[in-house]
A and B are shown apart, each in its own frame.
Chain A
Amino acid sequence: MEILKLEDLSFSYGKKQVLSKVNYTFETGKIYAIVGKSGAGKTTLLSVISGLVEPTEGTIYCNGNDMKKEDKYEYRSKNIGVIFQDFNLLTKLTAVENVELSMEISKENNKEKLNRDEIERNAYKILEEVGLDRDEADRRVLKLSGGQQQRVAIARALSYGPDIILADEPTGNLDEETQEEIMQIMKRLAANGKCVIIVTHSSYVAGCADERIELKTMKKSAPAS
């Protein structure tokens, strides 16, 4: 099912054109790997899709709605979950607090009732789903390993149940075993009907994707394996 559509999407930093007339349609239940050389605009594309920056030209449709007319903050806290390359977790908070905060922001933006017990229960549950037990969930983020922090970032992105998951180099700096575990989570998400878009340099990650997209051409290419 079509969930995200990019139409003639262009972006430039001043005079430097980074993205030019990008057209693509993303569907639910699939993993997309966006690949390309460094500086090709992979992270920029992710930022544009997540609403962190406005495209200079073109349109993004999410569930058929023109994103220009949507509130970007509500969009980021409802429709789309972003997993940043550097995790971007709040280091003074524990893992569970990071997830809870994200849930609270989403509920607040969508004017839903905040039930503290329910939020706490769900936060632990999501963290457990990504492989963090209660003890790890109660630890401050800085005291967790890179892989565990990545899991917290994934849990945070999933906390409010978005349909689209955007991940920027989710396995960068992680050992092979952890990479595999993270990708298993991604596969599970896609199997649960999410649209997972991963920006990556890793051939392993690209190989796990249902569709591999070369950013220069934005053309579909066959998975690596």
Chain B
Amino acid sequence: MFTFRNALRNIVRAKGRSLLIGIIITIIALSVCIGLCIRQSAANAKESALSDMTITAQISIDRDSAMSKAKSSSGSVSKSDLKKAMGTSLTLSQLKKYAKASAVKSFYYTLSASVDASGSLEAYSTSSSSSSSSSSSSSSSSSSSSSKGPSGMTTGDFTITGYSSDEAMTDFVDGTCKIKKGKMFTEGTSAMVCVISSDLADYNNLSVGDYITVANPNKSSEKYKLKIVGIYKNSQSSTQASMGGPGQTTDPANEIYTSYNTLNKIVTTSKAKYSSSSTTAISGQLNGTYVVGTVANYNKFKSQVKSIGLSSKYSVSSTDIESYERSAEPLENLAKFAGYFLLVILLVGAIILVVMNIFSTRERKYEIGVLTAIGMKKKKVAKLFVSEIVILALAGVIVGGTVGALTSVPITNALLSSQITSQQTKSNDMQQAFGRDNNGAGPGSSSSSSSSSGSSSSGTVSGNSSSSSGNAVSNYVSSVSNSINIWVLLELLGSCILLAIIAGMVSVVAIMRYEPLQILANRD
């Protein structure tokens, strides 16, 4: 109490000095508060967005690992080694084995295949130069509109996806797609039925009850007839399709949905027609989706699948988390910048306070001499001096913290906005450099944005890998609110008190070295 009261008195007596130190500490506290708030905003946004999401995980071939394994010491990649290292896609039974992990809440799977239009059916296209040629190519073994995909798989006019359950149809679950006419096929059916997009239906003048014929892109004479039981409307416009390639397959309108069993029947029938070594058969891409719910469960799932026996050739990933990370990139960048800014502020602040305290202690040398000469112990004098700067630091934290709390949100939003603009400009420049318009160019292409206040989430999330593959449309987290919390305040208080103590140590060292008699004898 004695120390505190005298420290307060000294602060009041030396108004000029106290005011100067107080202003400096307030500025430091304000800057630190804003920096901490930005970091906290990023953390809050991530936490709330991820907690609001139902995280799903997928198991896929670890291409990076395979590539590095296949690389020889000279750096060249052997194709045979790469094929060996990549292994094969997991079968349904293998996928189901990992679904037994305790972290998995539910499991669903999809089978997708690429097929060509056949008969009068034409793939929906907004580009006049890429109209379907399937009708004219019916006699050829390979459709002219079909193209070889990167993995050697032939890409046709349509993507036909078979779902294991209603839960797997995430576009319908999240409301991106809605049945407008007819109804959805029965869950688990193996009947040759499908639902098509309203765009495709209008384009081909099709309605519920009509039949469409699709063909093997590698052999147009191999045809399959599907009955349309429903027509859906996709709220995601075709212009939002990702930069998956020039084919129509990537257009959401050309997606045909059916049951897993139906598509599996088609794929199995096709396979049976050709030899096992042939690549002519319709090949299906099986994707399993494990609903794990939370990030913690996702991490648990990653370790559990390894213990169940997942080879290192495969890796576990989550499109939800990846999608969020893309959307939060500007905020994360800003948080990183805020971290460096914090370090600089603390360093510069410490230097300024230390230098000021050196001068202040020298100026008060006589006072130290008198106090010790009349019996005040050196450690008490040191405590008094440290208390003075700590009290000033507390006052600085209160003022700086209050102003910081009030201004951090608009400042963060302004910085975030400029960060997003720069990110979008970069993305636009890239698109222009590639000679493309700026449609469907990943996160940067999205004109809409979302805000995060600890409750709202960001980013569109595709829970299903088949529907989301190559579909990277995401929203940026463009605004934050209410980023200050008790931890920010404690960090602010802690850092400012630490600075004050570091500066106060200068006084402590000086006081411990000073001898009262020497000070008083050399008063002049």
Contact = CB atoms under 8 A, between A and B. Distances in A.
A156 B378 CA distance: 19
Interface in B355-401: 367, 369-378, 380
Contact of B376 (A75, A92, A93, A105): A105
Contacts of A142: none
Contacts of B6: 101, 104
A73 B367 contact: no
A52 B514 CA distance: 12
Contact of A73 (B2, B376, B520, B523): B376
Contacts of A216: none
B517 interface: yes
23 contacts: A52-B373, A52-B516, A53-B515, A53-B517, A73-B376, A73-B378, A74-B375, A82-B373, A84-B520, A86-B520, A86-B523, A88-B369, A90-B367, A90-B370, A92-B14, A93-B13, A101-B374, A104-B2, A105-B375, A106-B375, A108-B2, A108-B376, A156-B374
A24 B135 CA distance: 128
Contacts of B367: 90
A77 B370 contact: no
Nearest to B374: A102
Given A89-B370, A102-B374, A52 B2 contact: no
A105 B378 CA distance: 12
Nearest to A116: B5
B1 A114 contact: yes
A89 B372 CA distance: 12
A47 B369 CA distance: 13
Contacts of A77: 374-376
Interface in A52-85: 52-53, 73-78, 82, 84
Interface string B22-50: 00000000000000000000000000000
Nearest to A52: B517
A8 B151 CA distance: 103
A52 B509 CA distance: 19
Contacts of A89: 370
A101 B2 CA distance: 10
Interface centre among B1, B371, B374, B375 (most CB of A within 10 A): B375
B215 to A, nearest CB: 98
Interface centre among A52, A76, A77 (most CB of B within 10 A): A52
Given A86-B523, A104-B2, A114-B2, A76 B374 contact: yes
A143 B435 CA distance: 84
Given A74-B375, A88-B369, A105-B380, 13 more contacts: A76-B373, A76-B374, A76-B375, A77-B375, A77-B376, A86-B520, A88-B370, A90-B370, A101-B6, A101-B374, A102-B375, A109-B375, A109-B376
B284 to A, nearest CB: 86
Interface string B9-27: 0000110000000000000
B515 to A, nearest CB: 8
Contacts of A104: 2, 6
A156 B380 CA distance: 19
A77 B516 CA distance: 14
B360 to A, nearest CB: 14
Interface centre among A104, A105, A109, A114 (most CB of B within 10 A): A105
B377 A109 contact: yes
Contacts of B13: 92-93
Contact of B372 (A53, A73, A75, A92): A73
Interface in B431-478: none
Interface in B42-83: none
A82 B370 CA distance: 11
Nearest to A97: B9
Interface in A137-153: none
Interface string A27-71: 000000000000000000001000011000000000000000000
B517 A47 contact: yes
A73 B515 CA distance: 12
B2 to A, nearest CB: 5
Contacts of B515: 53
Q: What 6 pairs between A and B have smallest CB-CB spacing?
A: A77-B375, A76-B375, A52-B517, A73-B377, A105-B376, A108-B2
Interface string A116-160: 000000000000000000000000000000000000000010000
Nearest to A43: B521
B383 to A, nearest CB: 11
Contacts of A101: 6, 374
Contacts of A73: 372, 375-378
Nearest to A76: B375
Nearest to A78: B375
Contacts of B378: 73
A105 B377 CA distance: 9
A96 B481 CA distance: 54
B373 A88 contact: yes
Contacts of B376: 73, 77, 105, 108-109
A105 B517 contact: no
A104 B13 CA distance: 18
Contacts of B2: 104, 108, 114
A88 B376 CA distance: 14
B19 to A, nearest CB: 16
Contacts of A92: 13-14
Contacts of B520: 84, 86, 88
